[in-house]
Structure 1
């Protein structure tokens, strides 16, 4: 179990309602930021989100900085290289793998410096979940890792081991508790059997939900054991598999709340069951890129209000059970909007605690 930084050893997450390690009304980001300057990105995140900052990801740097490369940097005794079709398993770490490891190290250094100035009590780090990672890396013959049960098991074990070392280092370096967010953008395609085969003429067989839930739950449990903190599962798909994420043991679920308008009753039932069970929701409410219209805070909060209204919960529960975020990563945003978006997310969190008159 990782050390707890300020305040002593991290205790176990309580059963039932998720134990919150961040203040009421806190906001956070999804993960990615624009540009290539890790120090600047960390300064912006820790400055705008002082109560619940996160380790920034900078995919504009290219190989090793994207969601698969970041996860590959954590792997123990496994390595990847880049081929024309993407990432592929290789016998030993080469230039591509070493670059991914170096980028993550530089990002950790930048976060350490930012944390020394702001002294946060909790920091979030993001990594590709097991299904997204296994879908995004090829075996030597070109098939995806998820098609080989032995390789899938090896990759999952390696990811778990590397993630434990990463969060321990991050806790030691920042003096903060560490919340892990597992990103599963590819999970809906894995479940639907929508991933292409190497030939491009067929699709990989759909993974049954019980198997998907089992493997994801293994990583959730390991991440929770390594940190003693809640584990977030993130999927910004239009129709995220909330029921599966909940059943996998997620303490918190991150999704794009602006896509829930007109959501089918089955999805709302899944969200309601998770909410009723004590799961926290990281609600994407602030656009990831600036639009033509300048939205007011009340308009940005509307999807959250509509959600709890439709579920039959009091709006006051948002202060306890919701964390505002941008709708997804901010990699495509300009620098001015990044600061504005994170500031708006922070203002939404405060408004959930102390609602503005007339809302």
Structure 2
């Protein structure tokens, strides 16, 4: 499919520095063409996993010193920490509803995907959910049900918006490679094959309908084929971490209709002139033999989240995206 967001689209990948949700929401509504709900991990319960815990339905999770852990209970109430995470998310949605009143364009929200959650959340008696086939299936189902409710809530809050759900799966390449450490640290969890990865990921992606969907993975050479087979409409990747073989997979995915969210701008170090990342992507596009006119449909993003930046640098990087996209749009019409 072509990009549903028009020509020269831009967006951020979620995380931003600081704790001022209101100011960041105002900023992203103006700075990028696909605004998104800011994720501010500097706040308690504002990190990626806590956000997903807030979305989970009918599964109780408690926060321990080592991280989030299933309690073995079920129900809509959840643990005290889970209720706090949900309260923060609801406050952020209140802010969004106020500031985005009347907004009618695309709008993106982010949530951790089932494999990353399985690699980070513990079972009641220890070790990761990843170790238990039944537990990770239950986690994926709880996420899917929660996503259905979350999308319905977002449609009430911003009724004219064209919703996009981004599933963050930074841990999936390590899951596929059998590289996630066990609780003891002496071993690794058994690797998961491609079909198994597709099966679990497809459930929450399907549950997000009618919203658009993409999977974000800023690890080296992300498993794009898994994302495509799971039903994602787009994939967000760090272009600097893709090797030649990975670029071949990117080309196949683009030709097959996947929307590319291109992490073209570094998230640390000096901010390059917009011509540099634009030229690099255009050159690679040409070498792959992809249709030049499709360059204007690529969604331009930072390489990954911006929580590690200063607020000033994060703003500048997001503003720079628009110029990169404009240059690529011009090249697509040359």
Alignment match, 2:59: 78
For residues 189 and 133 of structure 2, the distance between their equivalents in structure 1, rounded to whole angstroms, comes to: 13
Does the 8 A contact of 2:274 with 2:321 survive in 1?
no
Distance 1:264 1:26, change over 3 A: closer
Alignment match, 2:227: 245
Match of 1:273 among 231, 247, 252: 252
Could you list the per-position Cα deviations for residues 290-335 of structure 1 after superposition, in whole angstroms to 9, with x for gaps in the alignment?
Answer: x24x521110213321331221113331112x10011111101111
Q: Does the alignment pair 1:312 with 2:312?
A: no
For residues 231 and 356 of structure 1, the distance between their equivalents in structure 2, rounded to whole angstroms, comes to: 25
Could you list the per-position Cα deviations for residues 228-273 of structure 1 after superposition, in whole angstroms to 9, with x for gaps in the alignment?
Answer: 232101100122112222222221110011223xx132x2221121
Could you list the per-position Cα deviations for residues 170-204 of structure 1 after superposition, in whole angstroms to 9, with x for gaps in the alignment?
Answer: 12211212111111000011111111111111111
Alignment match, 2:244: 264
**TM-score for the superposition, normalised by structure 1:** 0.87
For residues 207 and 259 of structure 1, the distance between their equivalents in structure 2, rounded to whole angstroms, comes to: 22
For residues 68 and 319 of structure 1, the distance between their equivalents in structure 2, rounded to whole angstroms, comes to: 33
Q: Does the alignment pair 1:58 with 2:34?
A: no
Match of 2:19 among 36, 57, 62: 36
Alignment match, 1:329: 305
Distance 1:21 1:275, change over 3 A: closer
Match of 1:298 among 275, 289, 292: 275
Question: Which residues of structure 2 form unaligned runs of 5+?
Answer: none
Distance 1:313 1:126, change over 3 A: same
For residues 356 and 251 of structure 1, the distance between their equivalents in structure 2, rounded to whole angstroms, comes to: 22
Does the 8 A contact of 1:324 with 1:348 survive in 2?
yes
Alignment match, 2:107: 123
Q: Does the alignment pair 1:207 with 2:192?
A: yes
For residues 120 and 349 of structure 1, the distance between their equivalents in structure 2, rounded to whole angstroms, comes to: 21
For residues 31 and 96 of structure 2, the distance between their equivalents in structure 1, rounded to whole angstroms, comes to: 14
Alignment match, 2:30: 47
1:196 counterpart SS class: coil
Matches within 5 A, 1:66-145: 66-90=47-71, 91=73, 93-116=78-101, 119-145=103-129
Could you list the per-position Cα deviations for residues 81-138 of structure 1 after superposition, in whole angstroms to 9, with x for gaps in the alignment?
Answer: 1222211012372331122111111211222222127x24211011011101111110
Runs of 4+ aligned structure 1 residues displaced above 4 Å come to: none
Does the 8 A contact of 1:188 with 1:240 survive in 2?
yes
Alignment match, 1:192: 177
Does the 8 A contact of 1:25 with 1:350 survive in 2?
yes
**TM-score for the superposition, normalised by structure 2:** 0.93
Alignment match, 1:7: none
Structure 1 residue 42, shift from structure 2 partner: 0.7
Structure 1 residue 356, shift from structure 2 partner: 10
For residues 303 and 110 of structure 1, the distance between their equivalents in structure 2, rounded to whole angstroms, comes to: 38
**Number of residue pairs the alignment of both structures matches:** 329
Does the 8 A contact of 1:53 with 1:120 survive in 2?
no
Matches within 5 A, 1:334-353: 334-353=310-329
Does the 8 A contact of 2:296 with 2:332 survive in 1?
no
